[in-house]
Amino acid sequence: EAGVVQSPRYKIIEKKQPVAFWCNPISGHNTLYWYLQNLGQGPELLIRYENEEAVDDSQLPKDRFSAERLKGVDSTLKIQPAELGDSAVYLCASSDGTSFSDTQYFGPGTRLTVL
């Protein structure tokens, strides 16, 4: 079974430029998460989707970040415009969401460097 797929693996951009990250969850997983991981720290949730609905986006900086999950499968996270402080690893995870105990599986992440 294929795992969570993310692209690109690495992205280097100039500040004020836009950037987008793509995530394809494990087949059949209804719940999708985007996490932000700063260097030397644990990941923190940005947004959680149940199918197409964003059910927890309280930590998403909505002035510059946006996300979508069309058709309840793939998801895209966008930053516009990027700032120096956005340099980090962006992790996507998915779970089947069918039980209280479902496990989150992570993708390899996208490392963003803003110059």
Partner 1 sequence: AQTVTQSQPEMSVQEAETVTLSCTYDTSESDYYLFWYKQPPSRQMILVIRQEAYKQQNATENRFSVNFQKAAKSFSLKISDSQLGDAAMYFCAYRRGAQKLVFGQGTRLTINP
Residues that bind partner 1 (CB under 8 A): 31, 33, 35, 40-45, 48, 50, 56, 89, 91, 93, 95, 97, 100-109, 111
Of 81 and 108, which has the nearer Cβ to partner 1?
Answer: 108
Of 13 and 45, which has the nearer Cβ to partner 1?
Answer: 45
Of 21 and 33, which has the nearer Cβ to partner 1?
Answer: 33
Residue 81 beta carbon to partner 1: minimum distance, rounded to whole angstroms:
25
Of 27 and 99, which has the nearer Cβ to partner 1?
Answer: 99
- Preceding peptide of 8 cis, ω within 30°: yes
Strands (E), the chain: 5-7, 10-13, 19-24, 31-37, 44-50, 53-56, 65-68, 75-79, 88-95, 105-106, 110-114
Indicate the residue type of 49: Y
Residue 74 beta carbon to partner 1: minimum distance, rounded to whole angstroms:
19
Vertex 15: Cα angle to 4 and 80 (nearest 5): 60
Q: 105-106 and 5-7: which strand pairing?
A: unpaired
Residue 23 beta carbon to partner 1: minimum distance, rounded to whole angstroms:
14
Residue 98 beta carbon to partner 1: minimum distance, rounded to whole angstroms:
9
